[in-house]
Amino acid sequence: MNIDRFKHHHVEILSGIAALRKLSHLGVTDHAVDIAHELKALSQIVTQHLAIEDRILYPSLERSGDERMAGMSRAYQNDMQGIASAFINFARRWSNATLLSKNPDGFRDEANIVLKNVHTRMVRENREFYPAIESLGEAGRTAVHDGLLYA
């Protein structure tokens, strides 16, 4: 199963988190506009990634015929719900430069929790989930005909 698009999203997401960390260290108040802009861009990538996972990746793994992969897929999908919800709420709340300027410590505190959870999840998927997907044998591969994933 070709998961290059998902891997590319992870690179973009991890880069976005690194950019937010750098801007935050430079000063939330001084860089509030840049942080809000970067957070909006990150939110778009994360939202797209989550939608494609839910519509394509997880259902494909459920149909793969590999019960271990189907179980792993369900576990990853269930785990992601809380992380995704927290991130979406975080992005909505802090995509406003004025609010960032008024409460830089609140942003930092929440970012340290939410973005760390997203980062940890991406790293875990890169180390465990994606290699397991790529190791599916020919018999367990599922064709998806929309050009995103294919056997």
Residue 142 lies in a domain: no
Residue 143 lies in a domain: no
- Residue 96 lies in domain: 4-135
Number of domains in the chain: 1
Summarised one tens digit per residue, pLDDT across range 36-83 is 999 999 999 999 999 999 999 999 999 988 999 999 999 999 999 999
**Gap between the Cα atoms of 148 and 50, Å rounded:** 14
Residue 38 lies in a domain: yes
Residue 108 lies in a domain: yes
Summarised one tens digit per residue, pLDDT across range 103-140 is 999 999 999 999 999 999 999 999 999 999 998 854 34
CB proximity list for 7: less than 8 A, separation 6 or greater: 126, 130
Residue 151 lies in a domain: no
Render the burial of 92-130: b for 16+ CB within 10 Å, e for the rest.
ebbbebeebbebbeebeebbeebbebbeebbeebeeebb
Residue 149 lies in a domain: no
Determine contact, residues 58/77, Cβ cutoff 8 Å.
yes
pTM: 0.86
Residue 141 lies in a domain: no
